[in-house]
Amino acid sequence: MNNFLKILDENDYILADGATGTNLFDMGLETGDAPEPWNMHHVDRIRCLHQGFVDAGSDLFLTNSFGGTSFRLKLHKFENQVFELNNAAAIIGRKVADAAERLVIVAGSMGPTGEMIAPHGLMTPREATDAFKAQAEGLVEGGVDVLWLETMYAIEELEAAVDAIKDFGLPICATMSFDTAGKTMMGITPANLAKRAQELGLVGFGANCGVGAPDLLATITDINRNVSEGTTVIAKANCGIPEYREGSIVYTGTEELMAHYVHLALNSGAKIVGGCCGTSFEHIRAMRKAMDEHIQNGEPSLQDIVSTVGEMSPGSRAIFAGDDSLPVKIRRGRRGR
């Protein structure tokens, strides 16, 4: 059996990893630089990143390949090294997972291209499909257990990505990023994602990044209301809200807040829970403890969420209440993680 399907079958809950980008910044990555070349030039640092999460208790971690399509790599003049950089990312992850004393899953991270598919942009569906397929070839050859689309915002691009990677024989998961209107930047609601993801046959799906834990919990709640029993729902929230302090961005979430978020996410229907931007090894360690001690209760109320992890935006409050009529808040996409 595939390792990812095995751990889904054997475990009630699965703890994913935390942030890639924000932790690599602490290791020396400069703002504006692509992290993917580190898979070849700073192997020890990428290995340290993954090992840190495994040691903290993660059952699953994402490879350092979020921006691994030719479209993203072209911004840094690495578009001709798509296979090599993604393959290297997977190989590093595989070695860390195989050395663990328990089953640990290597998820091949695949982020959006940063382009828009026509008629909203200039990229054709074929160009998108070719880009995702080329990335997946490197990840699969390197030994990932699951292909993991993340921080997606357009259904058309998600569909193109799934079409590109469906024949590799690996499970596929996907998460979209929802903003303060409770929708993605292209107006996709959590219920829209739930419906289409099930039609596409995704093994797991949910939300990552976005605003913070309260808003992501609204998203997960709405997704869970629109899925069949036994669906694997994924929650990877940012670690609090980013603040600008002394020349750098700092995420405000404490270890205690992220532990509370784990309980709320599991009670909201998530099976895989992790952190996104700002989530450190220390946060994951606290989340591991919370998951191990979790006792399943009913779906949390709005008051449960607000009083425990903070205020929810008006758009997310509406989504939580089952109202998706608020207009989408248009913004530019970001790298994420």
Does residue 333 fall inside a structural domain? no
pLDDT confidence tier of residue 153, bands split at 50, 70 and 90: very high
CA distance 146 to 286: 25
pLDDT digits (tens, 9 = 90+) for 64-106: 999 999 999 999 999 999 999 999 999 999 999 999 999 999 9
pTM: 0.95
Q: Can you tell me the distance from the alpha carbon of 296 to that of 293, in angstroms, rounded to the nearest whole number?
A: 10
Q: Please, are residues 175 and 149 in contact by the beta-carbon 8 Å criterion?
A: yes
Helix, strand, coil percentages (3-state) for the chain, rounded to 5, are 45, 15, 40
Q: For residue 246, is it left (φ>0), alpha (ψ between -120 and 50) or beta? A: left
What is the DSSP secondary-structure string of 198-250? HHHT-SEEEEEESS-HHHHHHHHHHHHTTS-TT-EEEEEE-SS-EEEETTEEE
CA distance 198 to 259: 29
Q: Is residue 336 over pLDDT 80?
A: no
Summarised one tens digit per residue, pLDDT across range 195-218 is: 999 999 999 999 999 989 999 999
pLDDT in tens, 255-298: 999 999 999 999 999 999 999 999 999 999 999 999 999 999 99
Q: Is residue 334 part of a domain?
A: no
**Taking a C-beta distance cutoff of 8 angstroms, is the pair 39, 64 a contact?**
yes
Is residue 12 in a domain?
A: yes
* Over residues 121-132, mean pLDDT: 97
Is residue 327 scored above 80 in pLDDT? no
Is the pLDDT at 141 greater than 50? The verdict is: yes
For residue 329, being part of any structural domain is answered with no
Q: Is residue 189 part of a domain?
A: yes
- Report the range of poorest mean pLDDT among 5-9, 132-136, 250-254, 304-308: 250-254
211/184 Cα distance (integer angstroms)? 11
What pLDDT does 144 receive? 99
Is the pLDDT at 329 greater than 60? The verdict is no
Which residue range(s) make up the domain with 287? 3-320
Percentage of the chain exceeding pLDDT 90: 91
Residue 51 sits in a domain of what CATH number?
3.20.20.330
Question: Per-residue pLDDT for 330 more than 90?
Answer: no
pLDDT-based confidence at residue 242 (cuts at 50, 70, 90): confident
Q: Which two tokens stand for residue 226?
A: 């629109």
The predicted-structure confidence for 158-176, as pLDDT tens digits, reads as follows: 999 999 999 999 999 999 9
Burial 102-135 (b: 16+ CB within 10 A, else e): eebbbbbbbbbbbbbbeeeeebeeebbbebbbbb
Domain count, the chain: 1
Backbone dihedral angles phi then psi of residue 311, each to the nearest 5 degrees: -65, 150
Query: pLDDT-based confidence at 246, cuts 50/70/90?
Result: confident
Q: Is residue 93 part of a domain?
A: yes
CA–CA gap between residue 178 and residue 163 (Å, rounded):
23
What average pLDDT is seen over the chain? 95
What local confidence, expressed as pLDDT, does residue 334 receive? 40
Task: With respect to residue 326, please indicate whether it lies within any of the assigned structural domains.
Answer: no
**Does residue 75 lie in a domain region?**
yes
Q: How does residue 36 score in pLDDT terms, banded at 50, 70 and 90?
A: very high
Cross-strand pairs, 233: 205
